[in-house]
Amino acid sequence: MLLMISLLSIASLQGAIAASPPPPPQSPIVPISYSYGGYPRIQADIKWGTPGQSPVPTIFDTGSPSFWVFGPKSTINDGSDAHYVQGPCNKTVKAFYNWPKSTSHSKGGPTKPKGGSLNYAYGGNGKLISASSLINDTFAFSNPNFAKLTNNQVALADYAQITQLDDKCKIPESDFDHSILGLAPLSQGFSGPSFRDNLRRTGKTRSSSFTMWFDQQPKSVKSPYSGAAVFGAAPIRKKYIGELVRIKQDYPEDPYVGYYSALPELTVTSIRKPGKSVKIGLADSSVKRCLLDSGTGEDRVPFSEKEIIKATGLIHLQVPYVIAWNGTCESIPRTATLNFTFAGVTKGKSVTVAVPIRSYARGEFDGIPGYDASKVCALSLSGDEFGDCTLGAPFFTAAYAVFHDDKKQIALAQGGVSTGTADYVAGIEINNIMATRELLIVILNHTNEELIAEPEWPPLDHGQWTKSPDLQPPQAILAGESGMLRCQSSHIGGGVDGSITYRIVGLEGRNEVAFRWSVPYVGANKFDACCAVSDFTVEVLGGRGKEAVVVFVFGPAKMADVRPGDGVWAAVTRYPVECAKGLVGGFNHH
């Protein structure tokens, strides 16, 4: 006799789904680039206001928390090499946000910050910025394929003081930063406003996460790298290869700002004659962490320059005094890399980010007297750093990076492998919320037999059980009853994979029935069930989405299709199930 599905189970499922919040609007996406020449860093070209104005190059900076842009009548001061001392050179800022010309800025225009002007310091206090007001407005991007972002709060800077000699005041104002969009968490004691906090406060995102990546390196060494950052979400299509691994972090004592990883290992091989990888030793063994800072234009590492040069075949120039490639930048093999391996939080896990040597060939030293770029290629890379490690813009060209502040997690994978990001529609599809993957599992026993499991929680391949009293894996599922259990991913970029096995009471020999599920971070959900007894079968219902509900219906092999009309379909959706092969070895599949 076919037993009916528990109405209580149906009501529970419907209630859980009804309580789910509505999806947010399309997650914000910012196109980013890494150019050639000057002192390039990761940047976004932002067009403020309505109508959109000329783009302001904006440093996209994981190493600072605040968002500012120059407004009208702004001045950059330099010419002194002493900190906190005004120089003789004052330059009028030409690329700025002209808020009076915008029709979409906040009502009433700029407002004074509580507590007075906002002040920002960068580069060991060698760059001081003063902003006397705040304003909200729409901005777009130089790349028209990306949607505008409305109601963005930014500080209007009007003065910058740069500690730098400037003979006869010849350095053009365009060489200096005109805007910085800080991405780091806004720690106590640091001035805002925060772009990411504003996104969350205004409902554009629900998650504290953001994801950033770059496409494949360009064909020409002088062409820009193209990428994107997604806030509160992640691309559905993988922009990386290998596994996304949550890495170990190591933070200094407060106060600090930014994201720090535990110190990675560095391995290299000969560039001209690739062979066995060589592990590079430390010049300073006291360094235990690296700052991940997209607002720095170089990778500055505590590894031995002598060992790097010996293993790779690179050279050391005297003018400028940097590591270099003995040939033109264009002649650097595209496959030549520095390989940074980060330890994972999970025991035995690690991830290697292979940074192309060409990512360090960005023209930082072009134009320096005595440097001949037609013969050698100076690199934005320094070793022998004592007391410090910074992985800057070159590193980010090769890293698929996910940051989640609420969970205090960083995950990395090998990036620099995708294409089409600049096309937006063709290159990016978005999972609107980067939440943990969750799965509610319902097992309906439609037989006259009792199911028994082991009393311990079965281990999951990926993810973790949600151990609430009402959702523990039931040790017994009586005839005609149901069991419910819930699991979720344990880290950003993680999925949920696992299984639970029951024995059919009263049957001798092979009497197992196993239920298995896979809800990956990227890709289709998969479910499978296998029974060792040919008299029984399992039907799988539902299972779509990041927060999925799957129903395993265990019943007689001859039972009719389960199509209850009492409401279960409001909770789950029937669809063709892709059965993962070989999930439970040796079982007959029904």
Element (H, E) at 341: strand 337-343
- Are 383 and 458 in the same domain? no
Assign 471 a pLDDT band (cuts: 50, 70, 90).
low
Structural domain contains residue 162: no
Write the DSSP string, 200-223. HHTTS-SSSEEEEEEBSPPSSTTS
Round to whole Å and give the CA distance between 140 and 137: 10
Structural domain contains residue 547: yes
Tokens of 155: 């500080």
pLDDT given for residue 468 in this prediction: 61
Domain edge (last residue) among 363, 387, 411: 387
Does residue 568 surpass a pLDDT of 70? no
Domain edge (last residue) among 387, 402, 424: 387
Round to whole Å and give the CA distance between 496 and 515: 14
- Are 447 and 565 in the same domain? yes
CATH of the domain at 279: 2.40.70
Which tens digit of pLDDT belongs to each residue from 372-412? Answer: 999 999 999 999 999 999 999 999 999 999 999 988 899 99
Amino acid at 294: S
Q: How many residues does the chain have?
A: 590
* Helix %, strand %, coil % of the chain (to 5): 10, 35, 55
Does residue 132 surpass a pLDDT of 70? yes
Structural domain contains residue 424: no
The DSSP 8-state label assigned to residue 309 in this structure reads H
Structural domain contains residue 340: yes
pLDDT given for residue 564 in this prediction: 40
Which tens digit of pLDDT belongs to each residue from 135-173? Answer: 999 999 999 999 999 999 999 999 999 999 999 999 999
Cβ-based neighbour number of residue 560 at 10 Å: 8
CATH of the domain at 521: 2.60.270.50
Assign 470 a pLDDT band (cuts: 50, 70, 90).
low
pLDDT given for residue 237 in this prediction: 77
118-122 and 225-231 strand pairing: unpaired
Assign 21 a pLDDT band (cuts: 50, 70, 90).
very low
Tokens of 68: 């500012």
Which tens digit of pLDDT belongs to each residue from 237-282? Answer: 789 999 999 999 999 988 889 999 999 999 999 999 999 999 999 9
C-alpha angle with apex 140: 138 to 144, nearest 5 degrees?
150
- Are 285 and 369 in the same domain? yes
Structural domain contains residue 418: no
Cβ-based neighbour number of residue 188 at 10 Å: 6
Does residue 581 surpass a pLDDT of 60? no
- For the chain, what is the total number of helices (H) and then of strands (E)? 4, 38
Q: What Cα–Cα distance (Å) separates residue 589 from each residue in 452, 539, 542?
A: 20, 12, 20
Assign 210 a pLDDT band (cuts: 50, 70, 90).
very high
- Are 554 and 449 in the same domain? yes
Nearest to 73 by CA among 133, 127, 9: 133
Does residue 297 surpass a pLDDT of 80? yes
Cβ-based neighbour number of residue 360 at 10 Å: 27
- Are 442 and 361 in the same domain? no
- Are 336 and 446 in the same domain? no
- Are 450 and 374 in the same domain? no
Query: Average pLDDT over the chain, rounded to whole?
Result: 86
451-452 and 476-477 strand pairing: antiparallel
Structural domain contains residue 110: no
Structural domain contains residue 468: yes
- Are 449 and 541 in the same domain? yes
Cβ-based neighbour number of residue 76 at 10 Å: 26
Domain count, the chain: 2
Nearest to 559 by CA among 582, 533, 538: 538
Round to whole Å and give the CA distance between 211 and 234: 6
Structural domain that includes position 511: 7-21+435-570
- Are 362 and 486 in the same domain? no
Structural domain contains residue 577: no
Domain edge (last residue) among 352, 387, 422: 387
- Are 442 and 561 in the same domain? yes
Query: Model pTM?
Result: 0.76
323-325 and 430-431 strand pairing: unpaired
- Are 366 and 279 in the same domain? yes
- Are 503 and 566 in the same domain? yes
